[in-house]
A and B are shown apart, each in its own frame.
Chain A
Amino acid sequence: MNFAGDITVVAPRDAVFKALSDAPFFASCIEGVRNLEAIDATHFRAILETRVAYLRFKFKAEVELTQLSPPELIEAKVEGTPFGIVGRLTAITMTRLSETGGQTTIHYSVDATITGKLGSMGQPVLKAKAKDMEKHFTERLVAAFAIGGRGTAH
């Protein structure tokens, strides 16, 4: 599964880079993330829970920031182990930032693979859900910068 898109926020690139590389802020923009725990400066652990209709998908996620090149590039690797179902979610996310006239555009791409029983049952469902999550993430991110400075997205 591949997702890609652009999000534009009214903020300088340095500030956007700082915000996106701050795990608690980043996590606050994603619906369903809780129990975020920093293992070290580049490794994090969290629980991701999402619902599709009456179904609930819950993952134990481990995130590694594999490349941080301020103020332009953030690359991360996500590995998710679902609760109660055999499978694994692996994703590589690439985020590039460009600035034009006081606005920063976030170019993101996600390459995700779901294996096991989770893949056969959950991949199309989670792909449909990912579109909602993308929209939600964009709204929270844009709102967080719109209210001035970085703030915390809720």
Chain B
Amino acid sequence: MTPFDLVEPASLKEAIALIDPDDPDVRPIAGGTALMLMMKAGVFRPTRLVSLRRLRNGLSQITSTMDGELKIGAMTPLTAIEHSSEVKRAAPVIARTMRRLANVRVRNAATIGGALAHADPHMDLPPVLIALGASVSIAGISSERSMTVEDLLTGYYETALAKNELITGLRIPAQGNSQAVYFKVTAGSVDDWPALGLAAAIVGEGDTVRSVRLVVSAATSKPVRLTAAEAALNGRIANEVNVKKVADIAAEEADIIADIRGSACYKRELLRVFTARAVRAAMEPRGAPH
């Protein structure tokens, strides 16, 4: 590892000012769980790391409104989200997803803002957050803006963030009658990175699908909504014929990437199988285990 500067600003403004927009070797670091791996692998050699550690106090709250909207500070550790009663009440799929996300040590250190900024398409939370319609708040040198998580993630390790912008928080809208599920499919050991991630959030009325969001990850270069499959399911009865048809459409529309976790053909078949399972699970009566 080559030497680098480590700075620990005390304010958000100071942190943003320390990130050089013209130097890609200057990066903010939150929990560091992903960035350290990149540094150890030798594909990232920073000249300066801007630690956000001292911003924790102001950016690690979890709050919810009466109707179930959630707000989570960007520096909130994943463990705090996993065990938050607000999160379990408003978006239980997040707490369920956390159980198979990396391991306890990683969840203790990793932050939600850092996880989103890293933009690794194998991560479990981004597809879930996209299915839930979540958005992030972003602070720049002189302005703030918000953006959906769907728009934030633009490619492999790439986001729509300007180099001197930081994610400050996450907002998950009230889910109302929507029921969400996430399937993490590993091809090797159970705790491996997934070959496929699939999130579904469905508002059902009896057997009829009133609205649906389906998001594929890990097999693609970024988490993406399966819009053709969504359109084929919206307003339809989720019977076996329709679910099978939607699963076939999902498998056809995704731009699948082959890697060591499986060929494109294999992952496409996984997507077909797990789209059907996700739709069935999200249409189960409330309280049914997933």
C-beta contact mask, A80-96 vs B, less than 8 Å → 1, else 0?
A: 00111100000000000
B210: interface (CB < 8 Å): no
C-beta contact mask, A40-65 vs B, less than 8 Å → 1, else 0?
A: 00000000000111111100000000
A112 CA to B168 CA, complexed, in Å: 40
Chain B count of residues within 8 A CB distance of the other chain? 20
Report yes or no: A1 in contact with B258, Cβ–Cβ below 8 A: yes
Residues of A near B184 (CB, < 8 A) are none
Report yes or no: B42 in contact with A119, Cβ–Cβ below 8 A: no
A121-B43 contact, Cβ under 8 Å, with A1-B258, A127-B257: yes
Report yes or no: B45 in contact with A123, Cβ–Cβ below 8 A: no
Chain A count of residues within 8 A CB distance of the other chain? 22
A128 CA to B258 CA, complexed, in Å: 11
B69: interface (CB < 8 Å): no
Partner of A53, one of B25, B157, B258, B259: B157
Query: How many Å from the CB of A153 to the closest CB on chain B?
Result: 25
A12: interface (CB < 8 Å): no
Report yes or no: B260 in contact with A123, Cβ–Cβ below 8 A: yes
A contact set with B: CB distance below 8 Å = 1, 51-57, 82-85, 117, 119-125, 127-128
Between A and B, 12 residue pairs with Cβ closer than 8 Å are A51-B24, A53-B119, A54-B25, A55-B44, A55-B157, A56-B45, A82-B42, A119-B260, A121-B43, A124-B221, A124-B259, A128-B156
B contact set with A: CB distance below 8 Å = 24-25, 27, 38, 41-45, 119, 121, 155-158, 221, 257-260
